Amino acid sequence: MKASITLGLTLAASLAAVLVPSSNVLAAPAIHNASICQHWNPGEANLPIYYADGIKNSSTTAKTVVCPLVVTHTSGQSTGYVYVDHNNTVGFYCTLYSYSYSDVYLGSKTVWMPPTTKFTYIGTVPANTYSNHSVVCTLPASYGGKVVAIESNF
């Protein structure tokens, strides 16, 4: 009987340790298809061009897109990171922005998306329980670059 109670308490404690998240544990990464990205300027509603595997710019000049990230915040997490999956023949820049729920700027990182790599780490920015985040990319002209997806962890 005593052994059964001890075993039961041990199992309960083990289960509780697994089910109760630690404040230092990161949430599972969220993968965002580039279809979440929108044109930056209202007059460019027909740009960029959306494909099943990402977005490209068909214009003869570079165009900016903004990709708002849907995030699931982890309690106690003070930073978040982003990777951009891209496919391009010409390099371009993307910037990760972080703002608080009251629209206070928390930080940003800008990174070059080289044509030689396909998955680029932007870095970490400050985050809090109610912060919001977006990635802004300037797509090269004439189909020179494509954003495929964005992976985030906040």
Among 138, 131, 136, which residue's Cα sits nearest to residue 70? 131
The tens place of each residue's pLDDT in the chain, 154 residues long, gives 444 433 333 333 333 333 333 334 456 788 888 888 888 887 776 667 888 788 888 888 899 999 998 777 666 778 888 999 998 889 999 999 999 889 999 999 999 999 977 889 998 888 887 888 999 999 998 888 889 999 988 7
User: How far is Cα 32 from Cα 77, in angstroms, rounded to an integer?
Assistant: 20
Residue-level pLDDT at 136: 95
- The whole-number pLDDT of residue 15 equals 32
pLDDT at 16: 34
Contact in structure between 56 and 143 (CB atoms under 8 Å): yes
**pLDDT score of 20:** 34
